[in-house]
Amino acid sequence: AQSVTQLGSHVSVSEGALVLLRCNYSSSVPPYLFWYVQYPNQGLQLLLKYTSAATLVKGINGFEAEFKKSETSFHLTKPSAHMSDAAEYFCAVSAPQNTGFQKLVFGTGTRLLVSP
């Protein structure tokens, strides 16, 4: 079974500071990993995805994440936070498609707070 753990339910940064949101995964097969962002009362928007190609993945809005197999991690970073980045961020894992499993298993989410 697959699972993800997000460390820190809340992360606070100042505008312009580095954003680091942590995600560790557990998977019995090579995982596909995703980061989603959710603004209040809205749906989940796909930020970026790792599907066994390049280990450093670049996404939208200046975010990127690095897949580290040795650390079973897929942390999300952004060099400089913007006020508009304040939202809930979810890390998710799914099993590769040849196993037949398609569902996403989400972490518990990290709320990013950005102060002026």
Partner 1 sequence: AAGVIQSPRHLIKEKRETATLKCYPIPRHDTVYWYQQGPGQDPQFLISFYEKMQSDKGSIPDRFSAQQFSDYHSELNMSSLELGDSALYFCASSPSRGAAGQYFGPGTRLTVT
* Radius of gyration for the alpha carbons in the chain, expressed in angstroms and rounded: 14
The answer to the question of residue 96 lying near partner 1 (CB under 8 A) is yes
Binding partner 1 (rule: CB under 8 A), the pick from 12, 26, 45, 84 is 45
Q: Which residues of 12-28 are buried (b: 16+ CB within 10 A; e: fewer)?
A: ebeeeeebebbbbbebe
Q: Is 102 in the site for partner 1 (CB under 8 A)?
A: yes
Helices (H) and strands (E) in the chain, counts: 0, 11
State the nearest-atom distance from the C-beta of 25 to partner 1, in Å: 14
Which residue lies nearer to partner 1 by CB, 18 or 46? 46
C-alpha–C-alpha distance, residues 51 and 84, integer Å: 27
Binds partner 1 (CB under 8 A): choice among 29, 46, 60, 113: 46
Angle at 38 between CA 35 and CA 41, to 5 degrees: 165
Give 69's DSSP letter. T
The pattern of x and - marking residues 4 through 43 that bind partner 1 according to CB under 8 A reads ----------------------------x-x-x----xxx
Q: Which residues bind partner 1 (CB under 8 A)?
A: 32, 34, 36, 41-46, 49, 51, 90, 94, 96-97, 100-109
